[in-house]
Amino acid sequence: MNNPFRGCGTALVTPFAADQSLDEAAFRRLVRFQIEQGIDFLVPCGTTGETPTLSPAEHRRAIAMAVEEAARAPRRVPVLAGAGGNNTAHVIEVAKACAEAGADGILSVAPYYNKPTQEGLFQHFSAIAAAVHLPVVLYNVPGRTSSNIEAATVLRLAKSVANIVAVKEASGNLSQIAHIIAGARDGFEVLSGDDSLALAIGALGGRGLVSVASNAAPGPMVQLVAAAVSGDFAAARALHYHWLPFLEGIFLESSPAPIKYVLARMGYCQEVYRLPMVPILPATRERMDAVMRGCGLLS
């Protein structure tokens, strides 16, 4: 199956209004900013979008808005919609709703808390892929899920399930990532799930990044990924080191709180969260302001 998810995609935040409702105007404004700055694909309703706090109707609405804005763009911008969880049957229903909303593919995080075995992970993702017939991107983030999709399991899924086309790797384990890149079938890609490892994973043979930083800096992150993937490491290193304080700063506290603060400072959304997410601490605000000034996001 064709995989349209290469290059840099933005793990979009979900803007909320002061009354905690979905801020549709801000969401559309953010999506248009991404498209205008050259983002390669859009990722609404991932965990950066505070998805656990969205209602099913809000989840579907956010994806539909991303699809609508992408359709208006002068170039093709695929939409990779988040559909993950630890109840396989429920994830399948969410994935079907994403498909009905017009998504081009599904990003599905490894089940959290119940810590399935590798066989359980294989069966979970196989069932999701069989139910939607869209490209499926696995999402491995052990630091948040407490379950690691091992390289052997990723490769087994890549070989056995035609519409599992990529993995977003946020384990931080470069050896594991290298084994996946070396062993995967043609057309199966590894995308970095860590902004600060985009250069390293690109050097290993990865083909892209699902980025939190690109919410605020889509153009530079697209350029960084393109340089790393093409082997222009001098350009990639220059961008990496310029933006490294920012790439680290947006994880000073639990994401997406810092990046949402940044976007609020830039005027793209309000600094409104849904519990259990809360505003970042005053000391973190001061540090983020300094980082933003240093990289040119704040005058």
3-state SS class at 202: helix
Active site residue 168: yes
Candidates 112, 115, 139, 159; catalytic one: 139
Active site residue 159: no
Q: CA-to-CA distance for 162 and 242, rounded, in angstroms?
A: 39
Integer CA distances (angstroms), 46 to 84, 163, 208, in order: 8, 19, 17
Q: CA-to-CA distance for 224 and 214, rounded, in angstroms?
A: 11
Q: Which of 71, 57, 54, 42 is nearest to 16 (CA)?
A: 54
Q: CA-to-CA distance for 257 and 260, rounded, in angstroms?
A: 5
223 is written with which tokens?
């350029």
Q: CA-to-CA distance for 121 and 149, rounded, in angstroms?
A: 7
Candidates 113, 115, 159, 168; catalytic one: 168
User: What residues are labeled active site?
Assistant: 139, 168
